Amino acid sequence: MAEEKKNIIAVIGGGAGGMTAAIFASLDGHSRVVIFEAKDAPGKKIKGTGNGKCNFTNDNMDLKFYRGEDPKFAADALKRFDNEAAKLFFKKMGIRPKEKNGGYIYPNSEEASSVSAALRLTAEERDVKFIFEKVREVKKAGNGFVVNDRRFDKVILACGSFANMKDRNEFNGYVLAKGLGHRITPLYPALCQIRCAEKFFKTINGVRTEASLKVLEDDQEMAFEKGELLFTDYGVSGIPAFQLSRFCAEAKAKGKKVTLKINFLPDTDISEVKREVDTRLTERAGKGRNIEESMYGLLNHKLNFVLLNLSGMDPTGKISGIDEKKKEKLIKNLTDLTLEVTGTNDFSFAQVVAGGVDTREIDEETMGSLKCPGLYFAGEIMDIDGTCGGYNLQWAWSSGAIAGLAASGNDVPEDFITFINGRFE
Ligand SMILES: Cc1cc2nc3c(=O)[nH]c(=O)nc-3n(C[C@H](O)[C@H](O)[C@H](O)COP(=O)(O)OP(=O)(O)OC[C@H]3O[C@@H](n4cnc5c(N)ncnc54)[C@H](O)[C@@H]3O)c2cc1C
CATH number for 84: 3.50.50.60
d(Cα 249, Cα 213) in Å, to the nearest integer? 16
What confidence score (pLDDT) does residue 285 get? 61
Instruction: Tell me, yes or no, whether 99 and 181 share the same domain.
Output: yes
Instruction: Tell me, yes or no, whether 289 and 197 share the same domain.
Output: yes
Best probe residue, ligand 1, of 45, 180, 367 (max atoms within 8 Å of C-beta): 45
Query: Residue 90 C-alpha to ligand 1 middle, in angstroms?
Result: 18
Instruction: Tell me, yes or no, whether 197 and 301 share the same domain.
Output: yes
Instruction: Tell me, yes or no, whether 21 and 166 share the same domain.
Output: yes
Instruction: Tell me, yes or no, whether 205 and 250 share the same domain.
Output: yes
Query: Among 344, 366, 385, which residue terminates a domain?
Result: 344
pTM: 0.95
Instruction: Report the percentage of the chain scoring pLDDT > 90.
Output: 94
Instruction: Tell me, yes or no, whether 55 and 84 share the same domain.
Output: yes
Query: Residue 46 C-alpha to ligand 1 middle, in angstroms?
Result: 6
- Using DSSP's 3-state secondary structure scheme, residue 244 falls into helix
Give per-residue pLDDT as tens, 138-154: 999 999 999 999 999 99
Inform me whether the pLDDT recorded for 6 exceeds 90. Answer: no
Inform me whether the pLDDT recorded for 327 exceeds 70. Answer: yes
Q: Is residue 316 part of a domain?
A: yes
Edge-to-edge order in the sheet of strand 7-12 = 129-131, 31-36, 7-12, 154-157, 375-377
Q: Please, what is the average pLDDT of the chain?
A: 96
Atom of ligand 1 nearest to the CA of 42: 49
Instruction: Tell me, yes or no, whether 311 and 295 share the same domain.
Output: yes
Atom of ligand 1 nearest to the CA of 161: 30
Give per-residue pLDDT as tens, 386-409: 999 999 999 999 999 999 999 999
Instruction: Tell me, yes or no, whether 29 and 78 share the same domain.
Output: yes
Q: Which region among 174-178, 266-270, 277-281 has the lowest average model confidence (pLDDT)?
A: 277-281
Closest C-alpha among 28, 24, 58, 21 to residue 42: 21
What confidence score (pLDDT) does residue 349 get? 96
Inform me whether the pLDDT recorded for 286 exceeds 80. Answer: no
Inform me whether the pLDDT recorded for 36 exceeds 90. Answer: yes
Q: Is residue 101 part of a domain?
A: yes
Query: Among 311, 344, 377, which residue terminates a domain?
Result: 344
Number of structural domains in the chain: 2
Per-residue pLDDT, averaged over 380-389, amounts to 97
Per-residue pLDDT, averaged over 266-284, amounts to 91
Inform me whether the pLDDT recorded for 97 exceeds 80. Answer: yes
Per-residue pLDDT, averaged over 47-55, amounts to 97
What confidence score (pLDDT) does residue 321 get? 79
Query: Residue 16 C-alpha to ligand 1 middle, in angstroms?
Result: 6
What confidence score (pLDDT) does residue 2 get? 63
What confidence score (pLDDT) does residue 21 get? 98
Give the count of beta carbons closer than 10 Å to the beta carbon of residue 252: 19
Instruction: Report the percentage of the chain scoring pLDDT > 70.
Output: 98
Q: Is residue 139 part of a domain?
A: yes
Query: Among 282, 316, 344, which residue terminates a domain?
Result: 344
What confidence score (pLDDT) does residue 314 get? 94
Instruction: Tell me, yes or no, whether 335 and 358 share the same domain.
Output: no
**What is the extent of the structural domain holding 26?**
7-188+354-423
Angle (nearest 5°) at CA 278 between 201 and 215: 40
Best probe residue, ligand 1, of 351, 394, 402 (max atoms within 8 Å of C-beta): 351
Instruction: Tell me, yes or no, whether 197 and 156 share the same domain.
Output: no
Inform me whether the pLDDT recorded for 120 exceeds 80. Answer: yes
Per-residue pLDDT, averaged over 283-291, amounts to 75
Best probe residue, ligand 1, of 393, 394, 398, 399 (max atoms within 8 Å of C-beta): 393
Residue type, 26: S
Give per-residue pLDDT as tens, 224-253: 999 999 999 999 999 999 999 999 999 999
Instruction: Tell me, yes or no, whether 71 and 175 share the same domain.
Output: yes
What confidence score (pLDDT) does residue 288 get? 80
Angle (nearest 5°) at CA 186 between 402 and 227: 80
pLDDT band for position 5 (50/70/90)? confident
